[in-house]
Amino acid sequence: MLGDDIPGFCTALAGGKGARTYRGRREQLNRNVARILSRLGG
C-alpha cells in the first residue's frame, strides 16, 4: 500500500507540503485521506 515512502506518506498526510494555514492543512489532509481511501476501495 505505502511502498517504501513512509516518511513521504506521513508528510503528505500531515499536510507538510506547502499548506501554511490551519484551514489549508485541514483541506489538504481531507484530500489526502480521500485519495488514500479511494485507492483502498473505501
15 in Cβ contact with 28 (< 8 Å): yes
List the grid coordinates of 39: 485507492
Span 1-42, pLDDT tens digits: 556 777 777 777 765 655 567 888 888 889 999 998 999 886
3-state secondary structure of 33: helix
Radius of gyration of the chain (CA): 11
pTM of the predicted model over 0.75: no
5: exposed, middle or buried (Cβ count in 10 Å: 0-12, 13-18, 19+):
exposed
Residue 26 has a pLDDT of: 86
| Segments of 1-42 assigned E as strands | none
